[in-house]
Amino acid sequence: MSDLLVSLQLERGQFELGFEGVISGTGTTGIIGPSGCGKTTLLKALAGLLPCSDESLISFDNRAWQSPQDALPTHERRVGFVFQSAHLFPHLTVQGNLGFAEDRAHNPEGPSQQQVVEWLQLDDLLDRATHQLSRGQQQRVAIARALLSHPDILFLDEPLANLDRSARDHILTCLQQLQRELSIPMLYVSHDMDEISRLAEHLLIMEAGRILASGPAAELTAQLDLPLARDSRANAILHAQLHQHHPEDGLSELSLGEYSLWVSHCQGEPGSVHRVQIAARDVSLCLTPPDDSSMLNILPATILELAELDQHQMVVQLEIDHQLLLARLTRRSVNRLQLSAGKAVYAQIKSVALLSD
């Protein structure tokens, strides 16, 4: 599958959006940025739901979606779109909504209704009217409906924004399963870093109608000159290989180069690669390895860079096995330990979250 090539300008009143770049045709690309930065506008413009300027160019899979001569209408772009609200058709049942998509499928091949219903657990809902569903259920139907139209690429615009916590977690798990089952590329817009880091391996960071940075999620989340690493809820994303399970302790041992990273028991065969997330708040540093600590994960690391957050707080970028880790420390600690770039330290990691099973 080829990439989505974009050169796009758009004006809406006072707001200007400009985007030049390539969106990967494989895997999931997360688009993140503060509210009002143009994430939704970008997605709608790509789908042809908002007009962009005449000079704009968009092409995907050797088909021009938008060129100076012509703009392909939305219904011919073969895009699946999941909106913030489900926007189900009220005059049709759940089954009818799914059928609507199947009747107009963009491609002959794609997942069957049976598969999609199973992935999104819609079995008991098929005969219901759409107003009888909870918001979480409605959104699951909307995702199923988008998948059954067999799109070339799937756009998701903050699909979990209006949901309560349990519905969000449920759908996030469903989406992760879809990523494993399907090979279609996804573009996932959100302002929630938690959702993005669970789903996306590529990132586009937006600010005020511009792209601030784009690249692999593991690199951009830990880059100190970008807003993500400076956020109070900053996380680092690392890739680690499963070494072995320790069922007697309820733990699994991952390897990070020559070091071990202990996590709660997970699925998978030894050798499989897992993505883990480590919050900057959960990392503290010491100069000598403590031998009386209760922490399981104490790893040697090298300081690459330090940055001030405010008067009292600092964030430190560390390297472990050619991967990046963040630690959020007080300025007092930094001074007391005389931390500086190049210094070898030990990182005590309080908790590690598995992003994929």
Which positions touch another protein (CB under 8 A)? 44, 47-49, 73-81, 83, 85, 87-92, 100-101, 104-106, 131-132, 142, 145-146, 149, 151, 155
Kindly state the smallest distance separating residue 188's Cβ from another protein, in Å.
16
DSSP 3-state percent helix, strand, coil across the chain (nearest 5): 25, 35, 40
Task: Classify 236 in phi/psi space as left (phi over 0), alpha (psi -120 to 50) or beta.
Answer: beta
Concatenating the DSSP letter of every residue in 150-217 gives --SEEEEESTTTTS-HHHHHHHHHHHHHHHHH----EEEEES-HHHHHHH-SEEEEEETTEEEEEEEH
Kindly state the smallest distance separating residue 104's Cβ from another protein, in Å.
3
**Residue with smaller CB distance to another protein, 49 or 309:** 49
Q: How many other C-beta atoms are found inside a 10 Å radius of the C-beta of residue 344? A: 9
List, in order, residues 6 or more apart from 56 with CB less than 8 Å away.
7, 8, 9, 10, 45, 66
**Residue with smaller CB distance to another protein, 96 or 300:** 96
Kindly state the smallest distance separating residue 81's Cβ from another protein, in Å.
4
**Residue with smaller CB distance to another protein, 147 or 306:** 147
**Residue with smaller CB distance to another protein, 113 or 356:** 113
Kindly state the smallest distance separating residue 48's Cβ from another protein, in Å.
8
Kindly state the smallest distance separating residue 209's Cβ from another protein, in Å.
21
**Residue with smaller CB distance to another protein, 19 or 155:** 155
